Structure 1
C-alpha cells in the first residue's frame, strides 16, 4: 500500500478560491491525456481522521501529456475544503476513453462528495453528504447498466448509512442512477478501501462487503435496478480472489 503522504516539489499557491497552476512547456496543446495524479499540501485542519492518521490534503497535482509536452497542473482547494482520501484515482468518467481524476473532496461543514477533475479543474461532483464528519468510499467506474454511459459507484457513509450509490455521467455532470442499502467497504481507521469492480465475462460487477462484514457481496445493475448476492465469507484474501474472478 502506497503511503498517503505524497507530494511534488512545486511552489504552493496562495490560499483562497480553487486555483489551477500550469507548470510545463509553452504552447501546451489542449488535447492532453492525464497520465498521473497525486495529493499535496498535507493539513490537519479537518479533525475527522477517518483514515487513521488525521492528515488530509489541500492540493491536487495532475500530470498530463500530448505528443510534444508534459505538463503538471496544481489545483488548490479553498480553506473550508480538503481531499479526505488515500490517493487520486484515474478513471474514465466521461466515456471518451481517457481518464479523469476521481477523488473524495470534503466540505468541512457539509461532509464528503465524490469529485471529478481534469487538467482544467473540477468538472463534476456528487452532492455533499450534508454535515461534517460524514464520508464516502469509492468502489469504481464502469458502464454498469450497459446503456453506453459510465457510472461511478461508492458507499455513502460506510460506517453509518452503508448505502451503495451509483451516479451516471449524463454528458454534463453526475446524476443519481440507483442505490441499495446493506453494503460497506471501509472500517474506521483503515487506510485502505475493501472493494472494487470486476468483469468476469458477463459485464462489470461491484464487489463489497455486506453491512456486518460477514460476506463478500457481488452487485450487478440490471434495468436500472441493483441486485446483490453473497459469494463467500469475507476475508482480505477472499476479496482478492473474488475481484480476480477466481470465485
Structure 2
C-alpha cells in the first residue's frame, strides 16, 4: 500500500502503511518527500483525447485508493522538495518520462513541480490558489498541467468538480447540495442534498455516484464536521441528467466518509457500491450494495459507537491474487489494517495488521493512504 502521511510541514508518499507511532516518520519541515522507486500514485484515464491525463487525490475515479507500482519505504531514497508552508493535499500525474506533482498548502497556495531523472523543477500552474479545503483535480494535456475548477460561485469549496470522460462535460456539487452538470454555459441540476465535501465518482459510461441526503444525526465529527450522508445516489447523464437510484440508510445510522468505492468486488462484471455505515450503538461496519440498492454483504460492526472504519481500496491483494477490500479500523486509536474477502453474503476479515494509521483526526483529507 502507498499512503500519503502528513506530519506537520511534511508530506511523505510512502509504499507501505507507516506505523502510527513510528519514529521513522520524516521530521523535515516544509518539504515534500518523494520516493524515487517506480511507483505511480495516479491513474491514466481514457478521454476523447488520449493525450489527456486526469488525476485525483483519491487515486482512481471509482473512489478506490489504489496506486500503481512497487516499492518499500524507508528502504528507497527520497527527494526532498522545500515548500512554502504546510501541505493540505498532494496530487500527481505521469507526463512521459517525467511526473508532475501538485501540492495545495494550508493557506490555499498551489505549488507545482516536474520531476525528471530525480531532479525537481518548480513549474507554473493555474490557478495559483484554491480554497484550502478543496482537493485538487489535476489535468495534464500535452504536457501542460492545469487544475480543474468551476467558474461558479455556487460550487462547494470543499470538494472538486469532475470531468465526464466520454462527453467532456463538467459536474460539481453546489453549496446547496445540488448536483450540477454543465456543458459550456448550459447547466442542469438535481436536488440531492449532497454533503459539501462529497466526492463525485464517475464511470466509463459517464454515470456519477455521489453521497446524498446530508444529515447531522450522527455527531461523531472526526472527518471535519458533524454532517454525514444518509444516502448514496447513482445518476445517469446520458442523454440527460437523471436520478437512477438512491440507496437510503435507515435512521439512526449514516454513511461515514466522503465517497463510496464503486467497483466490481464480486467478479460478475458489474460494479458494486461499498460504503462505511456508522451508528451510535455499534460503530462502523462496511457494506456492499448492488447498483439497484440490494444489500449483498456486510462485515462485522466494531461493537461500540463513535468508532470509524476507513475504507481504502479493492484490489487483488490476497496471497494468490484474491480480490480483497483493505480497510483501517479505528485509525485514530491504535489503527488496525483489515483485509476483507467476500464470502457468500458476508464480508469476512481474512487478515489483519496492527499499529497502523491512515487519517489525521478532524481532517477532511481521507486520501492519506492507498494500496499498491
TM-score range, shorter chain: 0.5 to 0.7
Q: Does 1:170 align with 2:339?
A: no
Give the equivalent residue in structure 2 for 1:79. Answer: 251
Residues 1-247 of structure 1 aligned to structure 2 (within 5 Å) = 1=135, 3=159, 7-8=178-179, 9-10=190-191, 35-63=207-235, 72-121=244-293, 122-147=295-320, 149-193=322-366, 194-198=368-372
Q: Does the C-alpha gap of structure 1 residues 96 and 87 become closer, same or farther in structure 2, counting only changes over 3 Å?
A: same
Q: Does the C-alpha gap of structure 1 residues 34 and 140 become closer, same or farther in structure 2, counting only changes over 3 Å?
A: farther
Greater relative contact order (CA < 8 Å, ≥ 6 in sequence):
2
Q: Does the C-alpha gap of structure 1 residues 170 and 136 become closer, same or farther in structure 2, counting only changes over 3 Å?
A: same
TM (normalized to structure 2)? 0.43
CA distance in 2, matches of 1:100, 1:117: 6
CA deviation digits over 1:37-79, x for unaligned, max 9? 111111111111010111111111123699xxx7610122211
Number of aligned pairs?
Answer: 177
Moved more, 126-135 or 114-123: 114-123
The structure with the largest alpha-carbon Rg is 2
Q: Does the C-alpha gap of structure 1 residues 175 and 10 become closer, same or farther in structure 2, counting only changes over 3 Å?
A: same
CA deviation digits over 1:85-144, x for unaligned, max 9? 111221221123432111111123111111212223221121111111100111211121
Q: Does the C-alpha gap of structure 1 residues 129 and 186 become closer, same or farther in structure 2, counting only changes over 3 Å?
A: same
CA distance in 2, matches of 1:175, 1:76: 24
TM (normalized to structure 1)? 0.63
CA RMSD of aligned residues (A): 2.8
CA distance in 1, matches of 2:208, 2:286: 18
Specify every segment of 5 or more residues in structure 2 that has no aligned partner in the other structure, as ranges: 1-134, 136-157, 160-172, 180-189, 194-204
The answer (yes or no) to whether the contact 1:149–1:169 under 8 Å persists in 2 is no
Moved more, 3-12 or 171-180: 3-12
Q: Does the C-alpha gap of structure 1 residues 124 and 7 become closer, same or farther in structure 2, counting only changes over 3 Å?
A: farther
Q: Which has the higher strand share?
A: 1
Q: Secondary structure at the match of 1:169?
A: strand
CA distance in 1, matches of 2:208, 2:296: 17
Q: Does the C-alpha gap of structure 1 residues 161 and 11 become closer, same or farther in structure 2, counting only changes over 3 Å?
A: closer
Q: Give the C-alpha shift of residue 170 in structure 1.
A: 2.1
CA deviation digits over 1:126-176, x for unaligned, max 9? 111111110011121112125453110111000113101101012433111
Specify every segment of 5 or more residues in structure 1 that has no aligned partner in the other structure, as ranges: 13-32, 199-247
CA distance in 2, matches of 1:40, 1:65: 17
The answer (yes or no) to whether the contact 2:339–2:352 under 8 Å persists in 1 is yes
Q: Secondary structure at the match of 2:225?
A: coil
CA deviation digits over 1:200-231, x for unaligned, max 9? xxxxxxxxxxxxxxxxxxxxxxxxxxxxxxxx
